[in-house]
Amino acid sequence: MSTAQTPAAEEHRGDRAAASPAAESVARDFFDAFNRKDVERVMSLVSDDVVEDLPGVGIVEGTEQERAMLNALFSSFPDMATEVTRVTVAGNVVALEWSRRGTFSGAPWQGLPANGRPYNIRGAAFLEVNGDRVSRVTVYSDSAALARDLGILPAVGSGAERLALAMFKARVRARRALGALRPAGKAGA
């Protein structure tokens, strides 16, 4: 752990730098229940004011939103399986590295219809545990890999990807050229 931390990081960590076996146990219970898709057990492990920051979803606040998000996620990806591959504990914060696989074969997710495509992604979650409850979850995962696996983004190296990149580059060049033609002080007008 770095000795030079921002005030926000220091405030988040507090003075509980020693690893907490209780925090690790709660975090593992949380992930075990999540992996079993046991919404009631997950809910019993989160605080009433739980906050989750999830890529592609946004901020989930409180138990009502948490329950709704879990039910929607498990309905959309019914065979989802998560394997925790590494755990690190610093005070009441537990970092878990994981791999997740499944199939988008259930209900629509975030407005997208299920297409039966499999996915396999890696990610990490940081769980803040206060007492015997998870109060905050921050997740980092490769949203682009998930989008590629599900067919939302084109495959790496495909003709569709080359076309999309060519269109992006042409758009940037056109904007730069137009910007160069604008009088000084009028950029963005």
Determine the structural domain holding residue 182 and report its residue range. 154-189
Task: Using pLDDT thresholds of 50, 70 and 90, give the confidence band for residue 20.
Answer: confident
User: In the predicted model, is pLDDT for residue 162 greater than 50?
Assistant: yes
The DSSP code sequence of 41-52 is: HHHHTEEEEEEE
Q: What is the mean pLDDT of residues 77-85?
A: 97
The residue with greater pLDDT, 94 or 15, is 94
The pLDDT of residue 185 is 61
Residue 2 domain-assigned?
no
The pLDDT of residue 188 is 54
Q: Based on the fold, state whether residues 115 and 182 are members of the same structural domain.
A: no
The DSSP code sequence of 106-131 is: SS-BTTBPP---EEEEEEEEEEEEET
What pTM did the predictor assign?
A: 0.78
Angle, CA of 75, 154 and 172, to the nearest 5°: 125
Look up the CATH number of the domain holding residue 142.
Answer: 3.10.450.50
Q: Based on the fold, state whether residues 113 and 164 are members of the same structural domain.
A: no
Residue 1 domain-assigned?
no
Number of domains present in the structure of the chain: 2
